[in-house]
Amino acid sequence: MPKDMKAAADAVLAATVARTGGVPDSGVPGVVALATDAKGTIYAGAAGRRSLADPAPMTEDTVFAIFSCTKAVTGTAILQLVEDGLLDLDAPARTYVPAIADIQVLDGFCDEGNPRLRAPKREITTRMLMLHTAGFGYSFFCPNLRDYEEKTGLPPIIACARASLDAPLTFEPGEKWQYGISIDWCGLIVEAITGKRLGTVMAERIFQPLGMTDTGFTRRPDMEARMATIHQRMEDGSLVPMPELRLPNEPEVQLGGAGLHSTVGDYGRFIRMWLNDGAGENGRVLKPETVAMAARNGLGDLKVTPLASAIPTLTRDAEFFPGMPKSWALSFMVNEEPAPTGRSAGALAWAGLANLFYWIDREQGLGGFWATQILPFADPASVGGYLGFEKAIYDSVAAARAA
């Protein structure tokens, strides 16, 4: 680790947890961050506390609910089944999970407030699910789905209930990109094909080859003791610890789109696998040709669109690198132009609801992960810290390469 990288990155973390601007706790309570190249970790650091209600410091082995950072892991399990010849991405998804054929399209609401539903005109495929073009959404980004949940009593996705996945589509499959619960259905496909729970498949085929010992849908007692607390950002900028905001430890559905817990170090191993063309510390996870295929834009002429908030307590309006064209791979966002942080065009990235962010730059051989536990998503202090951290890593690497 170059000395200037450590100093620059440490400074970003320290500034992000600082209380600034006269507003109590206007930074973040605590953060853990990591940067890696293809060979190993080049920076790891922690700052602040796991909870404002507890003096325990944030540490590099802190356990986080990683929410949608789960999606790429489930996507990897799907790709393994494709390699095995057990899954055709372009076959109807009902081939593997017949229940998906019962999902209807929500065409708004009648005057009485009841939802108008109809059958879709085309089949949903697993590729559509991986690309978020199947028509599924999230209620916190889609007013119609929010209203549908309220009208019908459908449980929210974070309940980890099987019924949550019966939410309707909001458009005809294949018509556009919309972020939502599609990867949760991919998790059900993995379970249907393998005959095992998703977490068992991940443990055997992903976590063990990568040496990810602190990742899973269920929190062991030692993981529970290291959990960071989710905080809610209030309107005045202050933060309130919400220890009751935890995913169920024995979920009915192990959500392939949102259910994992992990450490920054473990997720760094997963990022490094993608930098290394599918190779892990203890064995291969994916073939190089699969990684190359999965890392390409799969949307064609469609684009990733900004995410508009429908439930402000869960998320603000969100867009990565506003104005820059972005596409989607299997299953990551792709920035189509070089990013101001130094990230290459064609790099892979995404995030988790409680303001966790990662990137995988295969061209430059760099990746990183930034973990906090704050709602709503797209918290300015969290996002600003993450982007500052990413830029500090690229600037330090560029300086070292130029020396």
138 part of the active site: no
Assess whether 6 carries a catalytic annotation.
no
- Distance CA(399)–CA(81), nearest Å, equals 41
Active-site hit among 71, 138, 148, 394: 71
Q: Find tokens 């010992």 and name the residue.
A: 213
What stretches of 234-320 show up as alpha helix (H) in DSSP?
Answer: 264-275, 288-294
Q: What's the Cα-to-Cα distance from 300 to each of 138, 174, 177, 297, 327, rounded to whole Å?
A: 23, 11, 11, 7, 8
Catalytic residue from among 148, 179, 358, 394: 179
Annotation says 68 is catalytic: yes
What is the DSSP track for 307-359? Answer: B--SSTTTB--B-SSTTS-EEE-SS-EEESS--TTSPPTT-EEEEETTTEEEE
Which residue type occupies 47? A
d(CA 228, CA 250): 19
Pick the closest to residue 158 from 74, 62, 28, 252 (CA basis): 252
Residue 231 and residue 240: Cα distance in Å, rounded? 5
Q: Which of 68, 139, 327, 331 is catalytic?
A: 68
Residue 207 has φ and ψ, to the nearest 5°, of: -65, -45
HSE-up of 306 (CA within 13 Å, CB side)? 12
Torsion sign over Cα 345, 351, 357, 360? negative
At position 6, the amino acid (one-letter code) is: K
Alpha helices in 22-87 (DSSP H): 70-83
Alpha-carbon distances of 92 from 64, 158, 177, 180, 329, rounded to whole Å: 35, 27, 18, 19, 19
Task: Tell me the pairing of strands 374-375 and 231-233.
Answer: parallel
Maximum separation of any 2 CA atoms in the chain, in Å: 69
What amino acid positions are annotated as catalytic residues?
Answer: 68, 71, 179
